[in-house]
Amino acid sequence: MPNPHCVQRGGQGSSLVEFEATAIVKGSPRQVVNAEDTVLTRQYQVRQLIDVAARMATDDELSDPMLSAVRKRLRKKLNKLFGEGFIHEIVFANFRRVRVPE
């Protein structure tokens, strides 16, 4: 289920973004199972990292069809939690952005 994130902008209004994020990982089957367990036990922390990455996005970053900067930022934050280099890529699905004028 997509998670809505409000991105505040001064003078430009705000944007509400909603998306599903999937992480592609590198590691042994045991490492992948451990990561799944970590996501379940640290679900709140993972959601907070996703929320922070979304809120930090600029208008230009949200306008990029590939969302490259947002994916990179989220990958870096999640790799701090799971271990450097473990998260190989972030894939967004059902991305939706609604601009809310001031």
pLDDT tens digits for 59-96? 899 999 999 999 999 999 999 988 888 899 999 999 99
Residue 50, token pair as written in the block: 């996703």
pLDDT of residue 9: 55
Gap between the Cα atoms of 87 and 59, Å rounded: 25
pLDDT class of 1 with cuts at 50, 70, 90? very low
Structural domain span for residue 8: 3-100
Q: How many CB atoms lie within 10 A of CB 21?
A: 19
Q: What is the pLDDT of residues 14-55, one digit of tens each?
A: 888 899 999 898 888 998 888 888 889 989 999 999 999 988
Decide: 34 and 84 in contact? Cβ < 8 Å.
no
The total number of structural domains in the chain stands at 1
- Strands 14-25 and 87-100, bridge-based pairing: antiparallel
